[in-house]
C-alpha cells in the first residue's frame, strides 16, 4: 500500500506548519500508523529557508512535549505532484496555493486546516509570529484538535 503524503503549509514554515507536522507525526506514531504516511511541511516564502522553527514556537511546543526538528523550506512545484493533501493554515495560504497549483486536479489537494477543527469559532489558524505567548499556545490547541480530526478523516475513509 502506498503511503498517504501530507504537506502542511504556512507562510514562513517556522511556526504553524512545522508545529502541525510535529503534532501529526505524534498522532501517527501513537496510532502505530507511521508506515502509512509521509509527512512534511513547507512555506510560501523562502525567507527562513534552512532555519529551525522560531524559538518561541519550539519553546511552547516543548511545554506540550513536542520537539520540532524541521528546517524551513519553501514549497516546490513538484510538491503538488508528490503529495496527496496540501494543508493550508489560513485563507491567504489557501489562495496562494491555489494560484501555484499547476492543474485543477492539483488544486483539489488543497484543504484548510481549520475546516477540521471542532473548537468553536475557529475559521483559520492565526499567524503567531508578531504576537505574544498566548498566540503560540492557541496555535498548539487548534492544531492538536484539527490534526486529530484530519487524521481520522483519512484513516476512517
Residues that bind ligand 4NP (CB under 6 A): 10-16, 47, 127, 129
Q: Is 76 a residue of the active site? A: no
Q: Is 10 a residue of the active site? A: yes
CB of 155 vs ligand 4NP, minimal distance in Å: 26
Q: Are 127 and 16 in contact (CB under 8 A)?
A: yes
Q: What is the three-class DSSP state of 40?
A: strand
Q: Is 127 a residue of the active site? A: yes
Closer residue to ligand 4NP, CB minimum distance, 47 or 98 = 47
Looking only at the bridges linking them, the beta strands covering 85-88 and 37-43 are unpaired
- CA 93 to the chain's CA centroid: 11
Q: What's the half-sphere exposure (Cβ side, CA atoms, 13 Å) at 138? A: 16
Closer residue to ligand 4NP, CB minimum distance, 3 or 62 = 62
CB of 30 vs ligand 4NP, minimal distance in Å: 24
DSSP 74: B
Considering the candidates 16, 26, 58, 112, report the single residue annotated as catalytic.
16
The four Cα atoms 73, 96, 125, 26 give a dihedral, to 10 degrees, of -40
Considering the candidates 79, 90, 106, 127, report the single residue annotated as catalytic.
127
Cell of 129: 509570529
Closer residue to ligand 4NP, CB minimum distance, 16 or 26 = 16
CB of 33 vs ligand 4NP, minimal distance in Å: 26
Catalytic residues: 10, 16, 127
Amino acid at each position: 500500500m502506498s503511503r498517504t503524503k501530507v504537506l502542511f503549509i504556512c507562510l514562513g514554515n517556522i511556526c504553524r506548519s512545522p508545529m502541525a507536522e510535529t503534532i501529526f507525526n505524534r498522532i501517527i506514531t501513537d496510532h502505530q500508523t507511521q508506515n502509512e504516511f509521509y509527512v512534511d511541511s513547507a512555506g510560501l516564502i523562502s525567507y527562513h529557508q534552512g532555519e529551525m522553527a522560531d524559538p518561541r514556537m519550539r519553546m511552547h511546543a516543548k511545554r506540550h512535549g513536542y520537539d520540532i526538528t524541521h528546517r524551513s523550506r519553501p514549497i516546490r512545484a513538484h510538491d503538488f505532484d508528490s503529495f496527496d493533501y496540501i494543508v493550508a493554515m489560513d485563507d491567504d495560504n489557501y489562495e496562494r496555493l491555489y494560484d501555484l497549483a499547476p492543474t485543477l486536479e492539483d488544486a483539489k489537494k488543497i484543504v484548510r486546516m481549520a475546516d477540521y477543527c471542532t473548537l468553536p469559532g475557529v475559521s483559520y489558524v492565526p499567524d503567531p509570529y508578531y504576537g505574544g505567548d498566548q498566540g503560540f499556545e492557541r496555535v498548539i490547541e487548534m492544531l492538536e484538535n484539527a490534526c486529530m480530526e484530519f487524521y481520522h478523516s483519512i484513516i476512517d475513509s
